[in-house]
């Protein structure tokens, strides 16, 4: 795997020359493991109630909320017919409102998450394994956003 072809490197606009590129080469395993985690979380074999296109739309939504345009566009490419869910102005409609509400709260008001939020997901019919899958997705995308922003800052670039 070419570390410069990973989602994280691409979204950060990482070039292949310079001190940041040299540092990334020295820690290529971090980028490779991050890519493997993305593949596992966004495109797992067992999706439960969260199919790949829904996961991609939610990831794009979170990236947009964080102002990470390149990362959002990458994830949006996998959203298929669910691209509207990637728009932070959309509430998800009747079918996805609870899910969108939870993802938005985690993405923008993390410190306000409480047990009640999980109970609400359960009350909306989401199984515990699917809640875990959702939380894995949200946690990974939050991590990915921070790594992309950090690499960009190291390069002195702006989103």
Domain ranges of the chain: 3-155
Average pLDDT rounded to a whole number, residues 41-67: 97
Tell how many helices (H) and how many strands (E) occur in the chain.
8, 0
> Strand, helix or coil at 41?
helix
Is residue 76 scored above 80 in pLDDT?
A: yes
How does pLDDT run across 81-107, given as a tens digit for each residue? 999 999 999 999 989 999 999 999 999
Contact 41, 50 (CB under 8 A): no
| Averaged pLDDT score across all residues of the chain | 94
Q: Which of 1.10.3470, 3.90.930, 1.10.1060, 1.20.1290 would CATH assign to domain 3-155?
A: 1.20.1290
Confidence of residue 157 (pLDDT cuts 50, 70, 90): low
pLDDT at 156: 84
């Amino acid at each position: 795997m070419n570390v410069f072809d990973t989602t994280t490197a691409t979204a950060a606009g990482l070039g292949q020359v310079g001190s940041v590129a040299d540092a990334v080469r020295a820690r290529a395993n971090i980028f490779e493991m991050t890519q493997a985690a993305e593949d596992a979380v966004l495109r797992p074999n067992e999706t439960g109630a969260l199919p790949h296109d829904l996961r991609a739309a939610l990831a794009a939504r979170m990236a947009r909320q964080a102002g990470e345009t390149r990362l959002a566009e990458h994830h949006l490419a996998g959203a298929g017919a669910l691209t509207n869910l990637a728009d932070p102005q959309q509430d998800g409609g009747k079918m996805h409102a609870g899910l969108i509400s939870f993802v938005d709260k985690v993405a923008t008001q993390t410190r306000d998450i409480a047990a009640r939020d999980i109970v609400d997901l359960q009350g909306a019919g989401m199984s515990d394994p699917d809640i875990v899958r959702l939380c894995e997705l949200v946690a990974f995308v939050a991590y990915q956003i921070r790594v992309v922003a950090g690499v960009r800052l190291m390069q002195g670039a702006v989103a």
